């Protein structure tokens, strides 16, 4: 099985959150008339870490999304069978029509990236924009990244590209499908 992945270059990510806005708009996650800050669904988020001591400070930013785990705990937790790992792409998918809204997948996700639609009573999350990907397009977050910090492709090819560019994989963050790299 090939594993489709996103590689996040920490040297390039500026924490602008354009990826979040584009993802929300593409997937229709926000009711722009009623949405309140801090109460909006999201398939990804930007985190940061400050390092050093004044005046020599540096800050790394990175995007956190569904990691499309090798052995997804959400799949095991879902008793209705609504969550599966696609054998062709490695993408973890949720079938909202099969989802019974038990929420066990949300509890078991170690990355806190599964959302719950209260009105529709189903779980949902990043699927690497599967509908775009199967037609040869990149996920929306990758397409709109202002700093070219996100790359999309097969995991093994992304690893080769990172190595060729002199980037090191941050192993503690890159144990699943999403890769985090830095010089």
Give 18-31 pLDDT, tens digit per residue. 999 999 999 988 77
pLDDT of 104 reads: 95
CA distance 121 to 140: 25
Per residue in 77-106, pLDDT (tens digit) is: 999 999 999 999 999 999 999 999 999 999
Mean pLDDT across the stretch 65-69?
Answer: 96
Annotate 112-126 with DSSP letters as a single string: ---EEETTTTEEE--
CA 14, 15, 16, 21 dihedral sign is: positive
Residues contacting residue 29 through CB under 8 Å, at least 6 positions apart: 23, 40, 41, 42, 43, 115
Per residue in 145-155, pLDDT (tens digit) is: 999 999 999 99
Which domains, and CATH codes, for the chain?
4-182 (3.30.70.20)
């Amino acid at each position: 099985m090939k594993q489709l992945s996103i590689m996040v270059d920490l040297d390039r990510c500026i924490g602008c959150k354009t990826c979040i806005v584009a993802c929300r708009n593409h997937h229709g996650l926000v009711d722009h008339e009623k949405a309140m800050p801090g109460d909006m669904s999201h398939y990804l988020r930007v985190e940061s870490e400050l390092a050093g001591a004044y005046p020599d400070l540096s800050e790394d930013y990175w995007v956190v999304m569904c990691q499309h785990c090798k052995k997804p705990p959400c799949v095991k937790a879902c008793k209705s069978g609504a969550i599966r790992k696609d054998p062709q792409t490695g993408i973890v998918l949720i079938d909202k029509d099969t989802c019974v809204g038990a929420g066990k997948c949300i509890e078991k996700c170690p990355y806190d990236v599964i959302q719950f639609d209260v009105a529709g009573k189903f779980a949902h999350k990043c699927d690497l924009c599967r509908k775009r990907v199967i037609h040869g397009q990149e996920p929306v977050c990758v397409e709109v990244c202002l700093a070219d910090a996100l790359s999309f492709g097969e995991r093994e090819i992304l690893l080769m590209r990172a190595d060729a560019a002199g980037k090191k994989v941050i192993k503690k963050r890159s144990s699943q499908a999403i890769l985090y790299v830095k010089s």
